Structure 1
């Protein structure tokens, strides 16, 4: 089990548990996996190989159940997939305050979720045990006895971040599964997790501000949380310079943002919009909005219709246009911390 300085133990053989649970729930019909087509784009001069994935089946994704309960005149409770998950969707408890569950609608195989056992708001600043639990899962994947693996964790917070569930949760994607299909895609071997590239390569650049810290081996829960709060406060100041030092590191978040963590990197980007519309190659027709969540920090984007898929592949700079709108300009002074935990 992975505990060390984190104070939280991830289950033994976590990759095997996730894989077995995913396959069982998929066969039982309790989750849906949406296969995708994939292309690699290089928008502008970013130095980043960006995954573009297309899943036409997502256009017909079922809607969540309607709100339930509540007497006449009382507000009904929205459906919460994390409060009482099906046994088949539950991977394991992660004491003391979290549970690991499967994502019901998966684009990436073995996509799973770290959720709080009690309902806590997605819009609040993360607590120390949230960060420690997520990193314990990352460490467990890397230290797996059968095969060391990388895990990408991301958190969406606020209306412009791509967040869709109010119950606090961090999402986790096995990087090996994120590479599915890349072996047959042109330049597929060039793709790497963008958060890692931004924190380690001088030629990696994107048009929106991303604040990063490198995570040292053996980082404690307190160090990890302090780094996250520091990045969050710096991001708030980018959007609200007038606040200077008066940024609270707890409670309701002041901004929308995405957080990403890998074994070696923590990255955070403040968000001002969820996405942007794109036009056809001729520029005459709007073919759809492209919305981005925390997977943007992995260097991935998802589209749901063929017109968007074609337009972005024909002109990768359209993706650059979307990226330039989602956050603060990367030319903003002081956007990268680049420190080590």
Structure 2
């Protein structure tokens, strides 16, 4: 069964103010130390709670929907290294807790890793979005569902980029989730290795066999209650050109793309994509950020 691609466009001007690289801590004691919003957040206004033994929950200062929050490691671990079993176990615990709230209690979790993924902070963190809040403002909330959910269970969606998906379920251990994650990750690496487009270079010095190793590629990971999906990335975004050939800006995309969501930062981008009746502008960008379907 092949499903049509459902895309949601969201205008998030707050993202225009989000730093794209670590900011310098102005403290005279450490003038060159990058600012780390996830270091000792307990006394800060965004802190929610700790999730023993290894993670904290904090609100996202640059939220794309209400109640957008973050699962960050207590100790510094690089965002560019492979996820570990406790990361996935903690993320699924949050998903399961939301599910127990009822029909609207769904969480979408995503992880950005590597220079082409939309990542902006070096401290390891996964981002969590309540699906009900992602449907706010839609004329028909039933007309859109999270893309990651539609990539498992024998279903195929006509995406402009290649994805690798596996089914997951409640009761899986962190080790079981991690095994699925590594299987999909390795499939993505092999697909990148077989392709020679710009941005598909692979770090051959690491093997993805040991927890904590640097990842060989840029990628996004998405997790829902039923699905774990990886999308290898070869570009963070692409330029947007209007129908009359004018350069409008650059659309950058992160792991929300695996929800079937594109976030735009400026009014010009918003107007150009919304006024494009056949979706050519957005589909052109999506076709450039990952691997083609024949890869």
TM-score (norm 2): 0.87
- How far residue 87 of structure 1 moved from its aligned partner, in angstroms, is 3.7
**CA distance in 1 between partners of 2:15 and 2:208 (Å):** 38
Candidates 226, 243, 255, aligned match of 2:179 = 226
1:152/1:172 contact within 8 Å kept: yes
Residues 1:321 and 2:279 aligned together: no
Give deviations 1:165-204, integer Å, cap 9, x for gaps.
Answer: 000000000100111101x3xx653111001112246352
Give deviations 1:240-277, integer Å, cap 9, x for gaps.
Answer: 24999x93233011000000000000000110000000
1:233/1:249 contact within 8 Å kept: no
1:70/1:77 contact within 8 Å kept: no
Secondary structure of residue in 2 paired with 1:88? coil
Partner of 1:141: 98
Partner of 2:25: 67
Residues 89-238 of structure 1: pairs in structure 2 closer than 5 A: 89-144=46-101, 149-182=105-138, 184=139, 188-200=141-153, 202=155, 204-238=157-191
1:308–1:166 Cα change, 3 Å: same
2:96/2:170 contact within 8 Å kept: no
Candidates 205, 225, 228, aligned match of 1:263 = 225
- How far residue 296 of structure 1 moved from its aligned partner, in angstroms, is 0.3
Alignment size in residue pairs? 280
1:134–1:57 Cα change, 3 Å: closer
Candidates 240, 243, 260, aligned match of 1:299 = 260
1:193–1:217 Cα change, 3 Å: same
**CA distance in 1 between partners of 2:18 and 2:192 (Å):** 34
Candidates 249, 258, 272, aligned match of 2:209 = 249
User: Unaligned 5+ residue runs, structure 1?
Assistant: 1-44, 333-341
**CA distance in 2 between partners of 1:75 and 1:158 (Å):** 26
1:62–1:76 Cα change, 3 Å: closer
- Structure 1 runs of 4+ aligned residues shifted over 3 Å read 55-66, 68-71, 200-203, 241-244
Candidates 214, 237, 250, aligned match of 1:275 = 237
- How far residue 219 of structure 1 moved from its aligned partner, in angstroms, is 1.6
User: Unaligned 5+ residue runs, structure 2?
Assistant: 196-201
Q: CA RMSD in A?
A: 2.5
**CA distance in 1 between partners of 2:103 and 2:3 (Å):** 32
**CA distance in 2 between partners of 1:89 and 1:322 (Å):** 33
Larger Rg: 1
1:46/1:206 contact within 8 Å kept: no
